[in-house]
Amino acid sequence: MAAQNALTSSNLVLTGLTARDKEDATRQLAELLVADGRVTEIEGFLEDVRAREEQMKTGLPFGIGIPHARSEFVTVPSVAIGLSPEGVDFGAEDGPATLIFLIAAPAGADDHHLHILAALARKLVREEFRAELRDASSADEVVSIIEREVHV
């Protein structure tokens, strides 16, 4: 198991995410953050994510969804990752997201979550990186790819 201060761990990855909509997908990933002790109260955290989503859609081109929020309910900067074979609509013009990254940052934190977003975005523009994540056969493999490629 990864150290608590690691950005993500295999406990925070759903490789076969099936969701009705973006709220369901976000809740499933948030539940992983709660179970891992990284989020203290799921409803409050999800409200913060919803408020952020209302400001701007978090669906990006190439099948990527990046719901995120700063929240008083987050104990350590974290990323929960969902791989959704069917895809989930996060509002991107080119279709549903098959790679979903729920980024959680403590409310009092600096702009660490922006650094996480920027580091992920730099890698996600590369088709090879997206394909490697989509083809991962286990949570451990997803974490290994992220740790190798995303440096914050």
**Domains in the chain, CATH or no CATH each:** 10-147 (3.40.930.10)
Rounded-to-integer distance, Cα 87 and Cα 53, Å:
18
pLDDT digits 0-9 by tens, 102-147: 999 898 766 766 777 788 888 998 999 999 999 999 999 999 999 8
pTM, entire model: 0.92
Residue indicated by tokens 């969701």: 19
Average pLDDT, the chain: 90
Known catalytic membership, residue 112: no
Q: What's the whole-number mean pLDDT along residues 67-95?
A: 94
Q: Is the pLDDT of residue 54 over 80?
A: yes
Three state DSSP letters for the chain: CCCCCCCCCHHHEECCCCCCCHHHHHHHHHHHHHHCCCECCHHHHHHHHHHHHHHCCCEECCCEECCEEEECCECCCEEEEEEEEEEECCCCCCCCEEEEEEEEEECCCCCHHHHHHHHHHHHHCCHHHHHHHHHCCCHHHHHHHHHHHCCC
From the candidates 68, 113, 115, 151, give the one annotated as an active-site residue.
68
Q: Could you tell me what percent of the chain has a pLDDT over 70? A: 93
Q: At what angle do helices 112-124 and 127-135 cross, to 10 degrees?
A: 100
